[in-house]
Amino acid sequence: MRIGMIGAGSWGTALALVLHENGHEVRCWTIDEESLNDIRLKQENSRYLPGIKIPSEIVFTSDLRLIVEDPEIIVNAVPSQVTRSALSLVKEIFSDQGQIWVSVSKGIENKTYKRITQVIEEVMEVPAERIAALSGPSHAEEVARKIPTAIVSSSASIETARKIQQVFMNQYLRIYANDDVTGVELGGALKNIIALAAGICDGAGYGDNTKAALMTRGLVEISRLGVEMGARPSTFAGLSGMGDLIVTCMSRHSRNRYVGEQIGKGRTLKEVLDEMVMVAEGVRTAESAYELAKMKKVEMPITEQIYKVLFENKSPGQAMLDLMTRASKIEDWGA
Ligand SMILES: NC(=O)C1=CN([C@@H]2O[C@H](COP(=O)(O)OP(=O)(O)OC[C@H]3O[C@@H](n4cnc5c(N)ncnc54)[C@H](O)[C@@H]3O)[C@@H](O)[C@H]2O)C=CC1
Ligand SMILES: O=C(CO)COP(=O)(O)O
């Protein structure tokens, strides 16, 4: 199959390697001329995925026309908040021939509160049944090294989810399929906020008990908002829920956990983001989730405290104290 990849950051590049290995013809678009030159000269994307050799058969280009020329599948791998603008460029030159779209981005668009498959549906004017989300515990650094990984392909149409499963699956990337796209995308987006909290926990010197509490109660509030938005509760116990929450809160590769860790050590958000090359989606998703929770009247205490630490200068210590001294509760999946 011919597959177009929009975005050649760490995840876009790692997935291009998977697809190439699976026998597909892959073309990746990037606006980043520096990494493009790097890939052409050294066969390595050292800015986003250092240490991994990139086969010369994978085309990397800044010419979008090469991406939209006759693909059977188009994958969106740019960060959530720039997906709309990147797709607007695609829309100008794209002719719809029944292609399947895949979102691998994990976020909720600011202001519109849309999941990324919904942004694709709106901008590209394709039906939800032809769009899938691929999500789950999968750091690019490990997938690119062929470390066994399992994720989930989800679409409103289970046939579409199954097709994408077949295209991406191989010996080191196991893919499950389901049709709860709302749950899959919200799990992948919201766990990044809890990973920021887990990072703060590491940076501020709290303990393993603290992190376990944040992860467990984090999953409760993720599920609570997810169910309110129409997701199935059981999806949050799966790869795109608990699975991704575990890896992002625990992994040395996680950019969201890293940002939290730096803040926990006393640095400002601006200082940390200014020196980062890669995206930490949880920062902007915290804005969307905080506002959504207020609008939907869903209790999300950890998200609320993370929002206040990130954007209202609240100290992590005070945020932790406020979480610990909330009114006493019965432990229940909705409490
Ligand atoms: N890195 C990882 O391990 C994983 C990342 N993801 C998700 O994949 C998405 C992409 O993440 P990464 O590849 O890690 O990000 P990255 O920061 O490594 O790369 C971002 C890519 O987007 C491009 N980009 C940035 N702004 C742009 C714009 N305005 N227009 C066009 N292109 C633009 C950059 O040039 C770069 O190619 C995120 O939503 C992330 O949460 C999902 C699973 C794993
Ligand atoms: O979603 C991811 C792993 O599944 C990547 O997480 P980070 O963006 O925090 O690195």
- Ligand 2: residues within 6 Å at CB? 106, 137-139, 192, 195, 244, 247-248, 253-257, 281
The distance from CA 128 to its chain's CA centroid, rounded to whole angstroms, is 19
DSSP track, 254-306: -HHHHHHHHHHTT--HHHHHHT-SS--THHHHHHHHHHHHHHHT---HHHHHH
C-beta of residue 256 within 8 angstroms of C-beta of residue 199: yes
Are residues 174 and 216 located together in one domain of the fold?
no
Domain extent for 20: 2-182
Q: Is the same domain home to 32 and 87?
A: yes
- Tens digit of each residue's pLDDT (9 = 90 or more) over 29-52: 999 999 999 999 999 999 999 999
Residue 187 included in any domain: no
Residue 170 assigned as binding residue = no
Is there an atom of ligand 1 within 6 Å of 80 CB? yes
Note whether residue 9 is domain-resident: yes
Q: How many whole angstroms separate alpha carbon 74 and alpha carbon 99?
A: 7
Ligand 1 neighbourhood includes 81 CB (under 6 angstroms): no
- State which H helix or E strand residue 102 sits in: strand 100-103
Domain CATH code at residue 215: 1.10.1040.10
Residue 30: its pLDDT value, please? 98
- Using 50, 70 and 90 to split pLDDT, how confident is the model at 316? very high
Mean pLDDT of 78-96: 97
pLDDT at 210: 98
> From the CA of 243, which ligand is nearest?
2
Cα–Cα distance measured from residue 253 to residue 176, given in angstroms and rounded to the nearest whole number? 23
Of ligand 2's listed atoms, the one at least distance from the Cα of 244 is: 4
**Once rounded to an integer, what is the mean pLDDT over residues 271-291?**
98
Q: What is the mean pLDDT of residues 267-279?
A: 97
Cβ of 39 below 6 Å from ligand 1: no
Residue type, 65: R
Cα–Cα dist 230/232, whole Å = 7
Helix, strand or coil for residue 103? strand
Q: pLDDT at position 334, please?
A: 62
pLDDT tier, 22 (very low <50, low <70, confident <90, very high otherwise): very high
Shortest-distance atom of ligand 1 to CA 279: 17
Share of the chain above pLDDT 90, in %: 98
79 lines ligand 1 (CB under 6 A): yes
Positions marked active-site: 191
* Predicted TM-score of the model (pTM): 0.98
- For residue 176, the CA-to-ligand 2 centroid distance in Å is 19
Q: Could you tell me what percent of the chain has a pLDDT over 70?
A: 99
Q: Are residues 57 and 131 in the same domain?
A: yes
State the average pLDDT over residues 157-176.
98
Same domain, 257 and 300: yes
pLDDT in tens, 191-243: 999 999 999 999 999 999 999 999 999 999 999 999 999 999 999 999 999 99
Question: Would residue 212 count as lying in a domain?
Answer: yes
Domain count, the chain: 2
Q: How sure is the predictor about 332, in pLDDT bands with cuts at 50, 70 and 90? A: confident
**Domain termination residue (choose one: 156, 182, 208):** 182
Could you say which ligand is closest to the alpha carbon of residue 7?
A: 1
pLDDT value of residue 238: 98
Strands 149-155 and 131-135: antiparallel
Query: Would 334 be classed as within a structural domain?
Result: no
* Dist. CA 152 → ligand 2 center (Å): 15
Mean pLDDT score of the chain = 97
**Is 293 a residue whose pLDDT tops 90?**
yes
Strands 73-76 and 149-155: unpaired
Whether the per-residue pLDDT at 147 is higher than 90: the answer is: yes
**Is residue 216 a contact partner of residue 159, using CB atoms and an 8 Å limit?**
no
Q: Confirm or deny that 187 is annotated as ligand binding.
A: no
- Cα separation, 322 vs 335, whole angstroms: 17
- The ipTM, to two decimals, is 0.99
